[in-house]
Amino acid sequence: EPLACYGGALSGCGASLRNAGDCLAQCGATCRNKFGSEIAGDEMRESAVCLEEARAKLRAWVEAESTADNEQHLKVSLEAASAIGKSSEAAEMAGRIIFSQGQKGKASKEEKSKQELVLNLLGLSTNLLACSDVLRAAEVAEGGLPGWGGFCDKVKDAAVDVERAGEVLRDGEKKPSGGSWLKG
Q: What is the 3-state secondary structure (H, E, C) of the chain?
A: CHHHHCCCHHHHHHHHHHHHHHHHHHHHHHHHHCCCHHHHHHHHHHHHHHHHHHHHHHHHHHHHHCCHHHHHHHHHHHHHHHHHHHHHHHHHHHHHHHHHHCCCCCHHHHHHHHHHHHHHHHHHHHHHHHHHHHHHHHHHCCCCCCCCHHHHHHHHHHHHHHHHHHHHHHHCCCCCCCCHHHCC
Most confident of 4-13, 116-125, 147-156: 116-125
pLDDT tens for 121-155 read 888 888 888 888 887 777 666 556 666 677 778 88
Residue 3: predicted pLDDT: 44
The answer on pLDDT for 35 being more than 70 is no
Residue 80: predicted pLDDT: 82
The answer on pLDDT for 108 being more than 60 is no
The answer on pLDDT for 52 being more than 60 is yes
